[in-house]
Amino acid sequence: MNTSNSTIKLAKLAMMTAISLVLVMLIRIPFPLASFLVYDPADIPIYITAFAFGPVEGLLVTFIVCIIQAVMLGGDLFYGFIMHFVATGIVAVAIGIMYKKNKSRRTAVIALAIGVTLTTAVMCVMNLIVTPHYMGAPVSVVIAMLPTAIIPFNLLKAGVNSLITFLVYKHISRFLHDNQ
């Protein structure tokens, strides 16, 4: 890749990062069953990045977005960063790897479904480990929240963001692949 193409790619990654940050600032919907869980569409540009450029770029944009989001939104700095990075990073890596090998609609659907399933499962474990330490919630409380809040929230957030990504990706990918 020559310098011009590298610069163009870097600019597109920065643009996807910026779009993700704008979305998280504009749309934040607390989950009714647990107000500390908040839906935002910030993962959509990250998933699109993973589809368009691959798992490394998807994870890079995830990392940058998570750092900026944790600092800008404050309060739960490390906790928010680690939980968001793991939840979103798992999906970005899964879809980036799978779609890079076979760029088809079928693969996209399978990759997104696997990403949603993986992030939901891993976030159950992460909540059992991280939430008691950083939020002071007893493990028994977190266990009780798994079926009533944590699992539904992660399925809903990753599922909605995956569905929107699937619906818009092909239209956006044309722009992302121009001049690359």
Q: What is the CATH number of the domain that holds 87?
A: 1.10.1760.20
How many domains does the chain fold into?
Answer: 1
Q: What is the pLDDT of residue 76?
A: 67
**Domain presence at residue 161:** yes
Direct distance between the N- and C-terminal alpha carbons of the chain, in angstroms, rounded to an integer:
9
Q: What is the pLDDT of residue 178?
A: 74
**Domain presence at residue 35:** no
* Beta strands, E only, the chain: 29-31, 34-39
Domain that holds residue 170: 3-26+41-177
Q: What is the pLDDT of residue 74?
A: 63
pTM of the model: 0.93
Q: What is the pLDDT of residue 36?
A: 83
Q: What is the pLDDT of residue 99?
A: 96
**Domain presence at residue 32:** no
Please report the DSSP string for 91-112 in residue order.
HHHHHHHHHHH--SHHHHHHHH
Per-residue pLDDT 10s for the chain (180 aa) are 577 788 999 999 999 999 999 999 899 999 998 888 899 999 999 999 999 999 999 999 999 999 998 888 665 678 889 999 999 999 999 999 999 999 999 999 999 999 999 999 999 999 999 989 888 889 999 999 999 999 999 999 999 999 999 999 999 988 888 765
